[in-house]
Amino acid sequence: MEPGRGAPLESGPSLLFKRHTNNAFQEIPVIDLHNIRSDDLSVRRALADEVRNASMNVGFFYIKNHGIPQETISAALEAAKGFFALSQASKETISIDKSTNFKGYTPLLGENSDPENRGDLHEGFDLGWEDPSGNVRADDGPMSGVNLWPDERELPGFKEAVMRYYYAVVALGKLLFPVFALALNLPEDFFADKITKPAAIMRLLYYPSQDGTVDDRVQGIGAHTDYECFTILWQDHVPALQVLNKDKKWVDATPIPGTFVVNLGDQLARWTNDVFTSTVHRAINRSGIERYSIPLFFGTDYNVLLEALPSCVSTDHPPKYEPIIAGDFVRSRIAATYKHSK
């Protein structure tokens, strides 16, 4: 059999399940991507082993040597700062309420990631795929629709900086899928025909600091899991992100310069029948200064049927979730966060 094209590392799904440890993680591993493009399959498999371990037991990992130039990140951050500094009236002209597919501006408390809470204390700007000429796809099913951009005269260069960052992170996401495939003992190209139209939603997020008396039902972003396959998150130097371990203890995802945080989402958990874990997380900014972050949620094409992968099912581990179309799943989960805000 051709290397990396279907030869399982070790046969049988039960071996995958056995790699779950009973220990609650205390820290988030850092994975070095410098050899992600290696010609040597054994090198790529070694990387996949690290990703498998983190995906099964933590659901989060940092990546370093990811190849995204610092100036691309800095320009996107400056664009985000410029956007959130606009007047409320300007931002409201591209309110997410005017969008058919959850694109544009969300004000403070405009959504609620944890139904137990009152609302999320962040502002956001959401965008999805568009090509360099500004065309969106018509065939994204329930997530079809255009991006809403601020007026170019008010914020020159915003769209260029944001899209340059977006394309760079989408390309990085495409590199990670074969690693996840190897980590699941699947052919390395297993996901290739399922990510032809990147269903990648990106958000610019702004978290004011929560000072003084804090209402525990208002957090920067309430406890939640992400919806797509995985998220590539850039966070600035301000600590806020926390990740829940099996002992129900919050572990800090402390900012590490030069890294992104990758966390798995519910699409991958459903697809892998929970072999890979979609871990609960939240962000609370009590630093005294404002915080910015940029998550990019990387999902499958919206028409893909998410049903348990054969390699993740056995007689002991029957499928846990009903098969569902990716686009319907994402749309219903996003809609819920807006409905819960009150």
Partner that binds at residue 241, options Fe ion, ligand AKG, none, CB closer than 5 to 8 Å by kind: ligand AKG
Figure out which of the listed residues 221, 238, 268, 296 binds ligand AKG, where binding follows CB under 6 A.
221
Q: Does residue number 266 form part of the binding site for ligand AKG (CB under 6 A)?
A: no
Site for Fe ion in 247-286 (CB under 5 A): none
| Residue 59 engages ligand AKG in binding (rule: CB under 6 A) | no
Write phi, then psi, for 42 (nearest 5 degrees). Answer: -65, -30
Binding mask 110-149 for ligand AKG (x = CB under 6 A): ----------------------------------------
First-to-last alpha carbon distance for the chain, in angstroms, is: 56
293 touches ligand AKG by CB under 6 A: yes
Residue 200's binding partner out of Fe ion, ligand AKG, none, with CB under 5 to 8 Å set by partner kind? none
Residue 283 makes contact with ligand AKG by CB under 6 A: yes
Nearer to ligand AKG, 66 or 203 (CB): 203
Q: Which of residues 191-210 bind ligand AKG (CB under 6 A)?
A: 203, 205
Query: Number of residues in contact with Fe ion, rule: CB under 5 A?
Result: 1
* CB closer to ligand AKG out of 285 and 311: 285
State yes or no: residue 73 binds ligand AKG (CB under 6 A).
Answer: no
Q: Which of 73, 169, 179, 241 binds ligand AKG (CB under 6 A)?
A: 241
Rounded to the nearest whole angstrom, what is the least distance from the CB of residue 6 to Fe ion in the complex?
33
Nearer to Fe ion, 178 or 295 (CB): 295
Using CA atoms, how far apart are residues 207 and 244, in angstroms rounded to an integer? Answer: 20
Which residues contact Fe ion by CB under 5 A?
226
Which residues contact ligand AKG by CB under 6 A?
203, 205, 221, 226, 233, 235, 240-241, 281, 283, 293, 295
